[in-house]
Amino acid sequence: MDNKDNRQDINVLYDQVELKLESIADKILTSHIKDMDGALNAVHGVVDGIFLRSAMRLAGNNITKAAKLLGINRNTLSKKLKELNLDT
C-alpha cells in the first residue's frame, strides 16, 4: 500500500469519526442534563485522554517519542498527562 492509499484510508476514518462525534455531541447537547455545563470541556478531556494513551502506548511509554507523534513539545505532553492523571 502506498502513501496515497494510506492518506485515502485515513481520510475515510476521519469522516467516520466526525460523523460519530457529531451524533454523540447531538445526544449530549439535547439530553437536558442539568450538570452538563462543561460538556465541551468534558468531551475534550476524553478525546485528549484517548490520543495521549494511544501515543504513549505506540511510543513504548517514551514521552519524547509520544510527543513527536502528537506534534507537541514533550513538556506539554508531560503537563497534559498530569492534568488527566495519566502520568502513573
Per DSSP, the residues of 13-77 read HHHHHHHHHHHHHHHHHTS--TT-TTHHHHHHHHHHHHHHHHHHHHTTT-HHHHHHHHTS-HHHH
pLDDT in tens, 22-65: 998 888 777 766 666 677 777 888 889 999 999 999 999 999 99
Look at residue 35 in the predicted model and tell me its pLDDT.
61
Look at residue 26 in the predicted model and tell me its pLDDT.
84
pTM above 0.75, yes or no: no
Name residue 50's amino acid: I
Asked if pLDDT for residue 18 goes beyond 80, the answer is: yes
Look at residue 33 in the predicted model and tell me its pLDDT.
64
Over range 67-80, report the average pLDDT: 97
Q: 38-88: which CATH number, 3.30.43.10, 3.20.20.80, 3.40.50.450, 1.10.10.60?
A: 1.10.10.60
Tell me the percentage of the chain whose pLDDT exceeds 90: 51
Alpha-carbon gap, residue 77 to 55, rounded angstroms: 10
